[in-house]
Structure 1
Amino acid sequence: MKIAFVSYEYPPDTALGGIATYVDQVSKLLKQRGHQIEIFSGSSYRHGTEIEDGIVVHRVQDKEKNRKNFSLNVGRVFAERHTVVKFDVLEGAEIYAYARGAVQLVPDIPLVVKLHTPSFVIRQINLVQPSIQMKVRRYIGALRRGNKPQPFPRWHYDIKNDIERLHTLDADEITTPSKALGDKLIEVWELPAEKVLHIPNPYIPSEELLNLPVKSNTNVVTFMGRLEVRKGVLDLARAIPLILQQYPNTRFRFVGRSLPLPLSNLNMQQHIEKTVQRYRNSLEFTGSVRLDSIPSILADTDICVFPSIWENFPNVCLESMAAARGVVGSSAGGMMEMLDFGRTGRLIPPRSPEKIAKAVIELLENPELRMQLGQAARDRVLTEYNLERIGALQEASYVRAIERRQALGARESKDSVSEGIA
């Protein structure tokens, strides 16, 4: 098959997160299985076409990081290339609807939308409700400045005009890495259930991770990911004193970029340090790190904690599992499936500092149990997310999308592709 991916994120130029990792790995998987793959991606500094690892990559320069313009510009590049290649199928993510311009310019292209986590879900989770103290401070501050006190802004979700939802409804097949996200969007977005298929993302663990010894004794608990509300780092911060009261030699490492704390003049690192000020010497913040440094970080780790309020398919969990580390993960979303419903790690409900502390303490108290879970987690990564299994599921998905579009014919053409992005 001739398969095209439209994704703003793609390494190395825009290796921003999980979408970049997914597109990189799935494109290599499908190429190995004999398919012709081309990537249409973004870049902040270059524009043009190159062959990278045997895959044709079209980069569209986007200095302003304007999502709407990128969708339009990459759509034009795709449409022009399609006249030459005649792609069989196109895949893009739901978030930001970057492939929407391509679909509107080539309305008969079979489309697969891969769910990653829509913007409205992220906004809802990261929304912090102002406390009474915050409201009083704002009110008094406005009066002191001689201004009329203004209420805190409220976020309203306009589901009917959500471009990400509309783009997903245009799809011939919708795939979701976690059943939890698929079920959520079938209910909230009213997606047709017969089009939503569960296909985990492929994961190709590095030899460096697989070669790490299962046995470890570092007393280090590591969090990896952006430091933001959605990732549960506020709850982890509140769990740290409870853990240190029983295991004072434990060290906590936060690996990832610190985002601003909503409704505050602090960033997340500053807030965490303030929350556990008494135990500041037990904390380490690395900031953003290169992907190739992850094995060395996990080599110096006993337990990984990912207490997300919601998570679809976090690669950091799979990396930790491949490294055979003890994992404490959130039960809200895809980690529950990754950890085999608690058989290869410990699951905790979101927003539960006490449960986080209890799970971490259990693994600190029982190193043999932690290592048994770590070995089981590594085995699960190798059996559940390997190229052969995921490759076959992916191919079948594309075939269904092609057959559905052939039966339906071209979509209704649009007069313009300048619609806004949610």
Structure 2
Amino acid sequence: MVAIQKEVNPHFEDFLFDWNQKFQFLVGGYGSSKSYHAAFKLILKLLEEKRTALVVREVYDTHRDSTFSLLTEIIEDLGLSHRIRSVSSPMQIRFPNGSKIIFKGMDKTAKLKSINNISIIWIEECSEVKYAGFKELLGRLRHPTLDLHMILSTNPVSESNWTFKYFFKDVRNKLLVLDDRELYKRRTIVVGNTYYHHSTADDNLFLPESYVEQLDELQAFDPDLYRIARQGQFGINGVRVFPQFKVKPHAEVMAEIPKIRRPLRRTGMDFGFQTSYNALVRMVVDREKQILYIFEEYYKNRQTDDVTVEDLKHLKRENIKGDPAEPKTIAYFNKSGFRMEGADKFAGSRLQYTKKVKRFKQIICSDACHNTIYELEDLTFKVNKNDEVVEDDFSIDPHTLSAIWYGLDDYEVADLKGDSVYSSARGY
């Protein structure tokens, strides 16, 4: 075993030698040195034991200027380049004891099938890898005798990313592994077979002050990026579609609705089967205060219309606006005794319907509507390649929003100038 002396950041000392868990999840802000210490940890382990390690990024070509370059730089800095050989084509690092590091990209998954006896995988920028890719890599992590380990390193992204749902909490499926706020407070935590490590630029003693000052300046003009880059915390990543969306206890919502003067009741439904959903949303509009109340939802898929009709039979007396793209489904509901008609769908309707919902001063949702909350509370706009907001496309496909669109089909919300515009449609 080669004696190695190397100054490292104190916050990472325990991490470097802790191999007690299968998963090691590193999340941190820009310049926190998490990637450096993940690479150093890997080198130390492969010098000590004969292993084959796999280093993965979403795109193979990005290795050359990131993980491969970083590992090679550390090896040279340790004075071991005469013993540990870096091969550039194909990228590989070979150790004197027979250990080796190979590099793959998830954009070329076919090449993963030929890999055997992988006992350590490092996924750099794991939030960029798809969940299906993560599961594929779990299947490649196998060895007949050695302990298995997976290191995952990333900057924090949106809470809708699979890494947050898998390692912290999945609101939709009501799964809680670890409250991320607890990690930010304690910095390192072990939960089950996962070692969690949080870091920021403050943990990197080798950073120039000018770099940290540059990160601090983000707070004034880009709070979202400041949260990610400086604080190293998950959260909403992008422009929220409905910043006025609020969640209240169901009993409180149901107590407020009867107090509304001239309430307008609306119900909308989006249809789906395999990957999409049958999403129904019941709403009440306070026209004077411009508040939209959401008090009931239905959200299921992979079931035939006869089952859905049975589930919703308590709504047979209600006027329901459905997705006009499914006339056969609407006809079936009507044949089953429902009062359902197709909403108006036209070119540009997604944008117009979204703008309509955004004009409500408040959107108050019952805490019983779990899927509506999941889809709308932190819903953000997509951005194009020029980093411009696309106003009719979103970070996810929100089926409950489609149901709201259809339910409000014949209603107009007062615009920002205060001019109230109501249609002459039925129900007023």
Instruction: Tell me the TM-score normalised to structure 1 length.
Output: 0.27
**Higher percent of residues as helix:** 1
Instruction: Tell me the TM-score normalised to structure 2 length.
Output: 0.27
Which structure has the bigger radius of gyration? 2
**Higher percent of residues as strand:** 2
Higher RCO (CA 8 Å, separation ≥ 6 residues): 1
